Amino acid sequence: MVGARRLQRFVRQRLSGASRDSAPPPAQAFEPGGSWTAIHHTREVIAATFLRGDGIEIGALHQPLRVPASARVKYVDRMAVPELRRQYAELDAVPLVETDIIDNGEQLTTIGDQTQDFVIANHFLEHCQNPVQTFHNLFRVLKGGGVLYMAVPDKRFSFDADRPCTTVEHIMRDFTEGPAWSKRQHFEEWTRLVNKRTGEAEVEKEIEHLIDIDYSIHFHVWRSRELLEFVVAVQRLVAFEVELFLRNGFETILILRKDTVGT
């Protein structure tokens, strides 16, 4: 992690230098939230530092990452825009990026092995039912030395605040046994602790509805500390280096680089 800490200092220096040129100031390291302008500015500076070549962004919806001219992006989602609008009625009034590749972002079955210079997956990991398998597939499609750019929300600063952090043990069981054993549990937790339903009949009805429409809830949630524990655990199964682990307002940005050995 020494290299990652050095890189954090480098990126923060770039952020500070950019702000002197009248750009928005970065969010403070542990500020709960921070302005959207500052959060996006930090994301863009990191993208300009790490992203080059051809890659994909998963689940961009209305907030695609602004990338440098040296990066060319295709957008992956599980549905085309009309279907996404029906699924997420709350996004009806905002523009969505057009889906270039329809695929399940956890599986990426239509993306060839070692074909991408980078993968962007912002506010995506928490939606994954099997995060470890997702990591395997994200790194499968990356070339050796390719970059995974992720932003993961900190549950403390979102509607997930009342939910317990997902443990490494839980995630590993999702990987070894498959996520079916915990799926209903996650929907019930969402219904009770996020949507605040209380009556048992109401809870049961909403759980069945969400499962029936395959609604993409936050299946797993973390604080930054537990997220780091998860990343370290996954490193035992997937070959990558942590180049950046940076708090950015209500989220944590990760830059993970695929090992070149054996690729």
Distances (CA, A) of 201 to 162, 204, 211: 22, 5, 16
Tens of pLDDT, residues 33-81? 467 788 989 999 999 999 999 999 999 999 999 999 999 999 999 999 9
Q: Among 168, 169, 219, 222, which residue's Cα sits nearest to residue 190?
A: 219
Whether 184 is covered by a domain: the verdict is no
Tell me if 174 is assigned to some domain. no
CA distances from 244 to 39, 47, 78, 255 (A): 16, 12, 28, 5
- 90 part of a folded domain: yes
Determine, yes or no, domain membership for 104. Answer: yes
Determine how many CB atoms are found less than 10 A away from the CB of residue 170.
Answer: 17
For residue 107, being part of any structural domain is answered with yes
- In 3-state terms, the chain is what percent helix, strand and coil (to 5)? 40, 20, 40
Question: Is residue 11 situated within a structural domain?
Answer: yes
> Residue 77 is part of which domain span?
2-158+224-258
Hey, which bits of 6-141 come out as E strands?
53-58, 71-77, 101-102, 116-122
At residue 8 the predicted structure's pLDDT band, cuts being 50, 70 and 90, is low
The residue among 11 and 232 whose pLDDT is bigger is 232
| Average confidence score pLDDT of the chain | 89
DSSP string, 160-199: TTTSPPPPHHHHHHHHHH-THHHHHHHHHHIIIIIS---S
Q: The whole model's pTM is what?
A: 0.85
Rounded Cα distance between 251 and 150, Å, is 10
Counting the structural domains of the chain, the total is 1
Residue 131 sits in a domain whose CATH number is 3.40.50.150
The answer to whether 147 touches 50, Cβ cutoff 8 Å, is: yes
Has residue 211 been placed in a domain?
no
Interval 154-183: pLDDT, tens: 999 999 999 999 999 999 999 999 999 999
| Alpha-carbon gap, residue 83 to 214, rounded angstroms | 12
Whether 188 maps to a domain, the answer reads no
